[in-house]
A = this chain, B = another copy of it.
C-alpha cells in the first residue's frame, strides 16, 4: 500500500507524498485505504474525530455553522493536497465545524490516536502545521471573498479551487449544493452560472459543470484567487 506507487498524475495524497522515507513508512503502517462517498459526514461539530482523512480523489468541505445550524458556509476546501482533521494537528480532537465529502472519491485514513503519536516526529509535525497555516489562509481569503465579491466571482473562485483539487475539468455538483457552500439562493447560482457560460468560461448541464477557460475564471475573480494557493506552494510543494 505505497502511497505514491501508481503512476498517473495526481495519484496519492500530496501531504503524504514528498515526505522523508522514514516518515512515510511510519505513516503507512497506520494508514488505511478508504472510499469517500459523496455526502459522507467526516466530522460533526463538537464531537471527537475518530479518523483523519487524506484524500487522493474527491473534495472535502469544512463548513462553519451556528450552533443551531441556522447559518452554514464553507470555510475550507480540501482535496488531495490536504487532510481533514487539522484540529488534531493543533492539539485537540474536536471543532465546532462540520466536515463532509462534497465530491466523492477515495483516500487514506488514520486513527486520531495514531496521528497524535506520529506528530511526535518533528518533521511530520512541521509539515502538517504548514498545511494548517495554508488552510487558515484559505479560510481568511474566503472571508475576504464573501465580503467583497459578487456572486459570479465567488462562484468562479469556488470552481477554480475545486478544479485545483480534481482530475479533469468536470465538477459533478448540483446548483443546490453549490448554493449551500456559497451561502446563497439556489436560483442565484443558476443565474450566475449562466453568466459564466455567457462568457464561455464554463459549460453547465444537469448536475455537471465543465470548466472551459481557467484563465478567464481567474480574471473574473481578480486578486481574490491565488494567495492561499501560493502559500501552499511555498511551504509544501517542492
A183-202 at interface with B (beta carbon < 8 Å): 183
Q: A97's contact among B75, B87, B140, by CB below 8 Å, is which?
A: B140
> Which of A3-11, A36-44, A60-68, A107-115 lies at the interface with chain B?
A60-68
Tell me whether A92 is interfacial, beta carbon within 8 Å. Answer: yes
Q: Are A144 and B65 in contact (CB under 8 A)?
A: yes
In the bound complex, CA of A64 to CA of B142 (Å): 10
Most chain-B CB neighbours within 10 Å: which of A67, A87, A96, A140? Answer: A140
CA distance A183 to B148 in the complex (A): 7
- Contact between B64 and A141 (Cβ–Cβ < 8 Å)? yes
A223 touches B144 (CB 8 A): no
Q: Which residues of A contact B (CB under 8 A)?
A: 62, 64-68, 70-73, 75-76, 86-87, 89-92, 95-97, 126, 129-130, 132-133, 135-137, 139-144, 146-148, 182-183, 222-224, 226-228, 230-231, 235
Q: Can you give 21 contacting A-B residue pairs, CB < 8 Å?
A: A66-B224, A67-B226, A68-B223, A70-B222, A70-B223, A73-B143, A73-B144, A75-B140, A75-B144, A76-B140, A90-B130, A91-B130, A92-B130, A92-B133, A95-B133, A95-B231, A136-B136, A139-B139, A143-B143, A146-B147, A147-B183
